């Protein structure tokens, strides 16, 4: 969920693009190929919640500059790059994700990253 000034700007979910069957319906290529979490993102039918939130904001013409995103897990490096370019200033997450490049990118971009419950 992207938020600014205590107002929800856009929401997102993990899932396939609209009109496209979800992997639960057609099978998960990543599972079939034994791809570990955090690797080979291009082999997934779905989009991450961060990507869908940014896309939703774009579709409706809502600026995400200066916003905070609240998400269940630390973003992957692909989502980190998108969040940086979307002008998100703060990332709040609860669960860890095995992608150290994302952490590096956020640090280099000056994005504040907070693990929920730790500050």
Q: What does the pLDDT look like over 45-84, one tens digit per residue?
A: 889 999 999 999 999 999 999 999 999 999 999 999 999 9
**CATH superfamily of this structure's domain 2-115:** Cytidine Deaminase, domain 2 (3.40.140.10)
| Alpha-helical runs (H) found in the chain | 23-26, 29-32, 49-59, 77-85, 100-109
* Sequence ranges of the binding site for Zn(2+): 48, 76, 79
Catalytic residue among 50, 89, 108, 118: 50
Per-domain boundaries in the chain: 2-115
Q: Phi then psi for 34, rounded to 5 degrees? A: 55, 45
50 has catalytic annotation: yes
CA torsion, ordered 70, 73, 76, 82, to nearest 10 deg: -10
11 band by pLDDT with thresholds 50, 70 and 90 = very high
Query: What's the whole-model pTM score?
Result: 0.90
User: Edge-to-edge, what's the strand order for the sheet holding 68-73?
Assistant: 7-10, 2-4, 68-73, 90-95, 112-115
Instruction: Please tell me the chain's helix, strand, coil percentages from 3-state DSSP, rounded to the nearest 5.
Output: 35, 20, 45
* Sequence ranges of the binding site: 48, 76, 79
7 band by pLDDT with thresholds 50, 70 and 90 = very high
């Amino acid at each position: 969920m992207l938020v600014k000034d205590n107002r929800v700007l856009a929401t997102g979910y993990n899932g396939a693009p609209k009109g496209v069957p979800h992997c639960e319906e057609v099978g998960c290529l990543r599972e079939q190929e034994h791809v570990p979490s955090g690797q080979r993102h291009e082999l997934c039918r779905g989009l991450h919640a961060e990507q869908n939130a940014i896309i939703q904001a774009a579709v409706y013409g809502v600026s995400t500059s200066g916003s905070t995103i609240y998400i269940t897990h630390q973003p992957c490096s692909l989502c980190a790059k998108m969040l940086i370019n979307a002008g998100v200033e703060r990332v709040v997450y609860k669960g860890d994700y095995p992608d150290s490049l994302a952490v590096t990118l956020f640090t280099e971009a000056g994005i504040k990253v907070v693990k929920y419950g730790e500050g």
